[in-house]
């Protein structure tokens, strides 16, 4: 669940991370009112879209008075930035900047630890820094059991070669940012830039936050959920309770489990195809779930063939097969389907599917065989 900048700042604020005072608005008149409410010029008018490059696109402007706020808000609301339409602008008090840094936490799955990245080079994309000057990024790996201590955070700041004037403020923010990341159930928290003001204060000037949707039951995220950006396919899948991400290929993918779905995308790519989606139906593959999944994929005109890749664990093979058969009775599918069914009671499941096989419904013994066949059918 990706948050807009203003939501990220609200999220950070709940963990006492210093952020700029501001207000999110959707109309020009409200933008002017928000600036007057802040009561301090200049203010920054910032487009709220979940994509980088806002400044270069003209989506961030510094306004010295109400007339400029009105002009810039009029220009920015409705602007298209890399395919994202601006519906919300954030009006915040402008900050004096002495230096810009970068800070983030995310999960390093291979190390099974949290990864912290800190750099004295902020205000630019971290990927650019990693490519041009990788030594400028100080990294630490944090065992979730141990957490982040003040002493480790201080050593980390020194390793990143931040201005000594920023050390105490940076350490304080990093400890709070780590708490936001862990207690807030985030997949990513990023401040770029983290600024040092001429006064010596350290301050989060931007906020990028991705929350773990699986932890939603522990939080009140209704406001965040209401503003999620989804295309038509993703919205339809969301309404059916499916984990779906739209892509740009021609092979529709249905798999049970995020790991298997990701592996399926990789295998399809390996044999020369491209996926039109990531669709994880989770642990269940009954008729209702399978019907919903097939409906979502069938309504995507880019799909030329469908790959159903199921490995039965707790869900037994015959249940999966019955679910597929029933779903096909409910939905008229326009594209050929290739099925790979393995795992618990897979033989029974394949026996159930056997009488229904045809040129438009095929079954393959392995994931690789199925991937090759579905890519061939997708043309």
Res 214: pLDDT: 79
For 97-106, 196-205, 314-323, 360-369, which range has the lowest pLDDT when averaged over its residues? 314-323
Give the E-state strand segments of the chain in sequence order: 22-25, 43-47, 60-63, 80-81, 84-85, 89-93, 99-108, 113-119, 137-142, 186-196, 202-204, 208-211, 243-246, 251-255, 277-280, 305-312, 337-343, 361-363
- Among 3.40.50.1820, 3.30.470.20, 3.30.930.10, 3.50.50.60, what is the CATH number of 99-222? 3.30.470.20
**What is the DSSP track for 200-247?**
S-EEE---EEEE-GGGGGGS--HHHHHT----HHHHHHHHTT-EEEE-
Q: Is 135 exposed, middle or buried (0-12, 13-18, 19+ CB in 10 A)?
A: exposed
User: Which helix (H) or strand (E) segment is 258 a member of?
Assistant: helix 258-270
How far apart CA 361 and CA 10 sit, in angstroms, is 50
How far apart CA 222 and CA 232 sit, in angstroms, is 20
Is pLDDT at 323 greater than 90 in this prediction?
Answer: no
- Angle ∠(212,215,217) on CA atoms, nearest 5: 140
CA 118 to chain centre: 21
User: Is 190 a residue of the active site?
Assistant: yes
How far apart CA 373 and CA 337 sit, in angstroms, is 10
Mean pLDDT across the chain, nearest whole number? 91
Mean pLDDT over 186-194 rounds to 96
User: How many Cα neighbours within 13 Å face the side chain of 154?
Assistant: 5
58 Cβ contact list (under 8 Å, min separation 6) = 75, 76, 79
Q: Which of the following is catalytic: 190, 244, 318, 319?
A: 190
Mean pLDDT over 330-348 rounds to 91
SS3 152: helix
How far apart CA 256 and CA 343 sit, in angstroms, is 12
Mean pLDDT over 167-185 rounds to 97
| Domain(s) of CATH 3.30.470.20: residues in the chain | 99-222
CB of 252 within 8 A of CB of 276?
yes
Place of tokens 């491209």: 274
Res 97: pLDDT: 96
For the structural domain made of 21-93, what CATH number should be given? 3.30.1490.20
Q: Which of the following is catalytic: 6, 102, 181, 224?
A: 102
For residue 236, what pLDDT band results from cuts at 50, 70 and 90?
Answer: low
Mean pLDDT over 17-34 rounds to 96
| Domain(s) of CATH 3.40.50.261: residues in the chain | 232-378
Is pLDDT at 296 greater than 70 in this prediction?
Answer: yes
Pairing of strands 243-246, 186-196: unpaired
Res 217: pLDDT: 87
Is pLDDT at 230 greater than 60 in this prediction?
Answer: no
Res 73: pLDDT: 98
CB of 324 within 8 A of CB of 308?
yes
| Domain(s) of CATH 3.30.1490.20: residues in the chain | 21-93
114-159 tens-digit pLDDT: 999 999 999 888 888 888 889 899 999 999 999 999 999 999 999 9
Res 229: pLDDT: 65
Whole-model pTM: value is 0.71
User: Is 100 a residue of the active site?
Assistant: no
Res 240: pLDDT: 66
Higher-scoring residue by pLDDT: 314, 144 = 144
Closest CA to 268 of 335, 340, 163: 340
Higher-scoring residue by pLDDT: 80, 53 = 80
For 13-22, 229-238, 311-320, 343-352, which range has the lowest pLDDT when averaged over its residues? 229-238
SS3 304: coil
Res 244: pLDDT: 80
For residue 340, what pLDDT band results from cuts at 50, 70 and 90?
Answer: very high
Is pLDDT at 248 greater than 90 in this prediction?
Answer: no
Mean pLDDT over 334-360 rounds to 93
Res 246: pLDDT: 81
Res 231: pLDDT: 58
Helix axes 66-76, 28-38, angle to 10 degrees: 140
Is pLDDT at 242 greater than 80 in this prediction?
Answer: no
Is pLDDT at 9 greater than 90 in this prediction?
Answer: yes
Res 256: pLDDT: 86
Is pLDDT at 42 greater than 80 in this prediction?
Answer: yes
Is pLDDT at 252 greater than 60 in this prediction?
Answer: yes
Is pLDDT at 287 greater than 70 in this prediction?
Answer: yes
The number of beta carbons lying within 10 Å of the beta carbon of residue 86 is 21
Helix axes 287-298, 232-239, angle to 10 degrees: 170
Res 283: pLDDT: 65
For residue 320, what pLDDT band results from cuts at 50, 70 and 90?
Answer: confident
Asked if the 232-378 domain carries CATH number 3.40.50.261, the reply is yes
Res 143: pLDDT: 96
């Amino acid at each position: 669940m990706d948050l807009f900048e203003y939501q990220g700042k609200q999220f950070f604020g709940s963990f006492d991370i210093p952020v700029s005072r501001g207000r999110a608005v959707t109309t020009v008149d409200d933008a002017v009112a928000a600036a007057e409410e802040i009561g301090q010029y200049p203010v920054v008018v910032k487009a709220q879209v979940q994509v980088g490059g806002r400044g270069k696109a003209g989506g961030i402007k510094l306004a010295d008075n109400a007339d400029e706020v009105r002009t810039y808000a009029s220009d920015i609301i409705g602007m298209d930035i890399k395919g994202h339409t601006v519906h919300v602008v954030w009006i915040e008090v402008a900050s004096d900047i002495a230096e810009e840094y970068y800070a983030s936490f995310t999960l390093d799955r291979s190390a099974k630890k949290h990864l912290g990245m800190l750099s004295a080079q902020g205000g630019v994309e971290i990927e650019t820094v990693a490519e041009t000057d990788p030594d400028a990024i100080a990294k630490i790996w944090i065992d979730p059991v141990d957490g982040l201590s003040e002493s480790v955070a201080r050593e980390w700041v020194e390793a990143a070669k931040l201005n000594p004037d920023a050390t105490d403020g940076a350490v304080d923010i990093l400890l709070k940012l780590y708490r936001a990341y862990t207690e807030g159930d985030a997949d990513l928290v990023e401040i770029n830039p983290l600024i040092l003001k001429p006064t010596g204060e350290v301050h989060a000037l931007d906020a990028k936050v991705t929350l773990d949707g699986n932890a939603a039951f522990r939080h009140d995220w209704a406001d965040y959920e209401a503003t999620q950006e989804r295309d038509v396919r993703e919205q339809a899948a969301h309404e059916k309770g499916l984990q779906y991400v739209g892509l740009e290929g021609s092979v529709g993918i249905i798999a049970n489990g995020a790991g298997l779905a990701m592996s399926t995308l990789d295998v399809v790519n390996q044999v020369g195809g491209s996926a039109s989606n990531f669709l994880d139906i989770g642990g269940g593959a009954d008729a209702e779930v399978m019907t919903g999944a097939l409906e979502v994929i069938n309504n995507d005109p880019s799909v030329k063939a469908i790959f159903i890749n199921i490995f039965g664990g707790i869900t037994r093979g015959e249940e999966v097969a019955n679910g597929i058969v029933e779903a096909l009775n409910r939905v008229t599918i326009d594209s050929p389907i290739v099925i790979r069914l393995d795992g618990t009671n897979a033989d029974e499941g394949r026996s159930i599917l056997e009488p229904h096989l045809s040129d438009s419904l095929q079954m393959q013994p392995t994931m690789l065989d199925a991937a090759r066949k579905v890519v061939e059918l997708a043309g």
